[in-house]
Amino acid sequence: MTIARYLFVLLLAPALMAGKCTSGGGGGPTPPQYPFVLAHGMLGAETYAELLDYWNGIVDEMEDEGAEVYVTQVSALHDSYVRGAQLQTQVENIIATTGAAKVHLIGHSQGGLDIRYVAGMRPDLVASVTTIGSPHQGASVASFIADGINQDGSFASALLTFFGALLTPVVELIGGTSDPLDAKAALTLLAPSGMAAFNATFPDGLPAGCNPGPAVVSGIRYYSWTGRVTTTNVLDLTDPLMGIAGLFYLGEANDGLVTVCSAQFGDVIDDGLIMNHLDEVNQILGLTSFFEVDPRTLYRDHVRRLADLGL
């Protein structure tokens, strides 16, 4: 044996032995016990016109970590009682199809409220609930619009009805679904007064004030994370929209649509992310901050977090 080959074997042997000692057969990490179910936010869809996934690159990242992932689709515009019931049916179908005892629920924006509904109605099917940029205390921008449309005969109400009629075929075409749409119901729920009623019905995981909430309630683990800035990438054409929307929350840290305080829920993994509301799901097209972790990494880390807990 030449000296070069001897040194090669000597250096490589520890790595080879370490690989042989790893459990799991393939040498990789132990996969999570339960499947993951992803729930989109308002105006969301599983995919837009079969071209752009709502969870941009996130599913692949989670699956690379060993997760079994299911992407759901509910009404793009409705309250979380209706959307939550639609999601519950899909979760029950996933349970029946996979034979899993429970699922992990992850919801972005209003999707975080939808999964709270499912956890409240079918806690026996839920191992964990994770909300991302969800308005648990309501959103001022929704309240501003809802106050106008709830006045019968108001210009705002008539305008919403008009645009709703125009929006319906567009949503059906782009999102590929004909689920019922009701913008007024959605905005009424997302106003602080609407969320107060929702929270009274589904209180698990909620904090007292602007703080983290309980991490575990009745055996279900609760988590959240959120961004706290409105503009993050000059190349992202949606950043100006987030910047304008964020003006409704002057003086409060927010991601453009939801304040950090409103997003607090369960065990807060991170509420200081340099991300806006769309960055949280790696949109648009992954044009996020150069100075923050890749959004997909948060989901991958979360898969590992739950797997390490045996879930």
Q: Would you name the residues annotated as active-site residues?
A: 109, 255, 277
Between β-strands 69-71 and 52-53, what pairing exists: parallel, antiparallel or unpaired? unpaired
Cis geometry, peptide bond prior to residue 284 (ω within 30 degrees of 0): yes
* Maximum distance among all Cα pairs of the chain, rounded to whole angstroms: 91
- Give me the phi and psi of 34, to 5 degrees please: -115, 150
Q: Determine contact, residues 274/289, Cβ cutoff 8 Å.
A: yes
Is residue 216 classed as helix, strand or coil in its secondary structure? strand
Helices (H), the chain: 3-21, 58-64, 80-98, 111-121, 140-149, 155-175, 183-190, 192-201, 239-245, 260-263, 295-308
Query: What H or E segment, with its residue span, contains residue 268?
Result: strand 267-273
**Structure-token pair, residue 59:** 């599913």
Do 67 and 303 contact (CB within 8 A), yes or no? yes
**CA–CA dist 130, 108 (Å, integer):** 9
CB atoms within 10 A of CB 15: 8
- Candidates 233, 250, 231, 228; CA nearest to 241 is 231
Tokens of 68: 């079994």
* SS3 state at 113: helix
Q: What is the 3-state secondary structure (H, E, C) of 9-22?
A: HHHHHHHHHHHHHC
Q: Which residue has the tokens 């969800």?
A: 134
